[in-house]
Amino acid sequence: MKETPRVQEVGAYEAKTNLSRLLRQTRAGKSFIITQRGKPVAELKPAPTKRGNGHWGDMKGKIRVADDFCEPLEDMKEYME
């Protein structure tokens, strides 16, 4: 059975001083609780990799725009004259 990693607590001053190191560790999957005077105030965790319902660019080559896309609609021609 996979063991859930424990979230490490980090004081605000330490987080500010070592932000680059914490971000590298976060990119690798680790999470942190940032505290002030021993009380949790924020969570630093990896950002989700998906945007909306899919990944950026995953529809490339799957969508075709019609050649007449920018042409006026037949129903609207009388309003555009």
pLDDT tens per residue, range 25-59: 999 999 999 999 999 999 999 988 765 556 677 77
Q: What does the pLDDT read at residue 48?
A: 80
- Give residue 21's identity as a one-letter amino acid code: R
Q: What does the pLDDT read at residue 53?
A: 58
Q: What does the pLDDT read at residue 1?
A: 47
> What percent of the chain clears pLDDT 90, i.e. is strictly above it?
48
Q: Which residue has the higher pLDDT, 69 or 6?
A: 69
Nearest to 5 by CA among 34, 42, 30, 33: 30
CATH class of the domain whose range is 1-46? alpha beta
What CA–CA distance (Å, rounded) separates 40 from 72? 58
Q: What is the Cα Rg of the chain in Å?
A: 25
